[in-house]
Amino acid sequence: MPSFKELIDLASERLGGSVLYANDDFFAEKENLIKPGPAIWKEHEYTDRGKWMDGWESRRKRTSGHDFAIVRLGAPGVIRGVVIDTSFFRGNYPDSASIDGVSMHPNVTVEELLAATWRPLLPAKKLEGNSANEFKVDVAEAVTHLRLNIFPDGGVARLRVHGEIVPEWNLVGGLGNEIDLAAVENGADVLACSDQFFGPRHNLIMPGRAKNMSDGWETRRRRGPGHDWVIVRLATEGSVGRIELDTNHFKGNYPDAASIEGSIDGQQWSELLPRTKLQAHTRHYFDDALQDRGPFRQLRMNVYPDGGVSRLRVWGVATEAGRHDAVVARINSRMSVESELRACCGATRWVEKVAAGRPYKSWDALAETSDRVWSSLEPEQWKEAFAAHPRIGEQKSGARWTAQEQSRARQASEGTLRELAEGNRAYEQKFGHVFLICATGRSADEILGNLRERINNDPMKELQVAAEEQRKITRLRLEKLVM
């Protein structure tokens, strides 16, 4: 079974990770915890505070309690394992350590983090000095920040936090727009490669351009037949629009040529980019040359015969299946999923039961549970969900997607909007709840016609009609969680 260390380091400075706070870093600075390279030792190096150490080290604690540091991850994600590295800390390492997590906005202040309610991710574990202490983590929720607790004090050289990125799609424009499907920050991963002797495969999808030749994927010199290759799992299933292949800094060791293939399942491959000559130290762009634009879930880049590539960018648009998969990942991994679900449906019982059904294996499983739970609710619970909606043509505070859903209705003439307002009042007087309709894509005149027709229903029939409209709205809003 693959080691969790094969996964992305979520705390990496290259992703934007940062050590925001430590209650004590008297001997060695907290920022050292997530330095990219391994810790080093300087035999005779001292500062005015004591021995120079390449890590985070607190003073000897003479009071009750323990020391801790807070790390903002470079990208939110589900943690699968951590490495608490005590390299060169032999007589001054902590006796044990634990890790807590929290999910908050990336710009949250230190004061808010100190006051937050943290969830245990790793219980206290005994540490060994001058060692890479590896621990698996078995918590399914994604977090944005970690708190490393050391008992009672001491030094840690490096902290590595390996896991799977779960993007905040609403912060980067949503999956309705073109994105870099191969970007690590969007959840892409490099599954395998033929060789990575000089440069790790994950460098290929890191943010920004490579800083030097070591910041790319590079194979050894091939002395036999064949060619080297690397397989990238895209952030979501998507259709490809354009590709960038960057050989930045590779001048005497770039591949002679490259080709790219795509696949849904990693079994059957089709040609996306035919074998194409490359140049040294160059950003290569491909658009018209693309043969098959997908949809794809994986790409295989072949380099002939060997060499180094610094970055691969794959610009495209997520498919419906890709968006659905992203919704499931989001629902399964949210630490406080109730607020997400309440934005989709205001019935408390529906929120509780759908949250309790996690984890979901597929979009179909999530959608089926949503529909089944909704149909099982009592009429008063349906009406609780209706009450969370504004009247058609009006804005309600906290209604997250109302403006978008009613965009066509809001373009109506003053006369039509006035008739809608009057019809809403008459409807509410008769039925005791707001007139509910799945308004997405409907004009005000269509909605007004529907209102005039439904106001003649008897209360029980109309309750069933309104409930079906809420079911459709809920389904659409679940999809919008990643849009």
Per the CB < 8 A criterion, the answer to whether 61 and 152 are in contact is yes
pLDDT value, residue 361? 97
pLDDT of 404: 55
Strand (E) positions, 170-251? 179-180, 189-193, 217-218, 228-246
The whole-model pTM stands at 0.89
Domain membership of residue 172 (yes or no) is no
Domain containing 267 equals: 179-319
Question: 257 and 390, same structural domain?
Answer: no
* 405, part of any domain: yes
Does residue 440 lie in a domain region?
A: yes
Q: Based on the domain organization, do 367 and 242 belong to the same domain?
A: no
Does residue 374 share a domain with residue 268?
no
354 and 311 share a domain? no
| 192 and 300 inside one domain | yes
Domain boundary among 264, 293, 319: 319
Task: Answer with the one of 121, 136, 165 that is the final residue of a domain.
Answer: 165
> What is the CB neighbour count within 10 angstroms for residue 444?
21
> What is the predicted pLDDT for the residue at 398?
44
Counting Cβ atoms within 10 Å, is residue 166 exposed (0-12), middle (13-18) or buried (19+)? buried
Q: Are residues 314 and 378 in the same domain?
A: no
Structural domain contains residue 280? yes
By the 8 A CB rule, do 219 and 226 touch? no
Q: Specify whether 430 is located in the same domain as 357.
A: yes
Give the pLDDT score at 397: 42
In a domain, 326, yes or no: no
236 and 117 both lie in a single domain: no
User: Peptide bond preceding 295: is omega within 30 degrees of 0, i.e. cis?
Assistant: yes
Give yes or no for a contact between 266 and 192, defined as CB atoms under 8 angstroms apart: no
Smallest CA-to-CA distance from 338 within 358, 322, 318 is with 358
* 54 contacts: CB under 8 Å, gap ≥ 6: 28, 32, 35, 39, 40, 41, 42, 87, 88, 157
Q: CA triplet 349, 400, 396: central angle to 5 degrees?
A: 90
Q: Is residue 101 domain-resident? A: yes
Tell me, yes or no, whether 72 and 199 share the same domain.
Answer: no
Residue 186 CA to chain centroid, in angstroms? 6
Taking only the tens of pLDDT, the chain with its 483 residues reads 568 999 999 999 999 999 999 999 999 999 999 999 999 999 999 999 999 999 999 999 999 999 999 999 999 999 999 999 999 999 999 999 999 999 999 899 999 999 999 999 999 999 999 999 999 999 999 999 999 999 999 999 999 999 999 999 988 889 999 999 999 999 999 999 999 999 999 999 999 999 999 999 999 999 999 999 999 999 999 999 999 999 999 999 999 999 999 999 999 999 999 999 999 999 999 999 999 999 999 999 999 999 999 999 999 999 999 999 999 999 999 998 999 999 999 999 999 999 999 999 999 999 999 999 999 999 999 999 999 988 776 655 445 655 555 545 555 678 888 888 899 999 999 999 999 999 888 888 899 999 999 999 999 999 999 999 999 999 999 999 999
Report yes or no on 174 lying in a domain: no
Q: Is 132 contained in some domain?
A: yes
Tally of domains in the chain: 3
Torsion angle of C-alpha atoms 336, 338, 341, 346, degrees rounded to 10: -150
CATH number at residue 464: 1.10.3330.10
Same domain, 475 and 349: yes
CATH number, residue 107: 2.60.120.260
- CA dist 239 and 178 (Å) reads 10
Q: What is the largest CA-CA distance in the chain?
A: 90
Same domain membership, residue 276 and residue 370: no
Q: Are residues 282 and 207 in the same domain?
A: yes
Domain stop point among 289, 319, 349 = 319
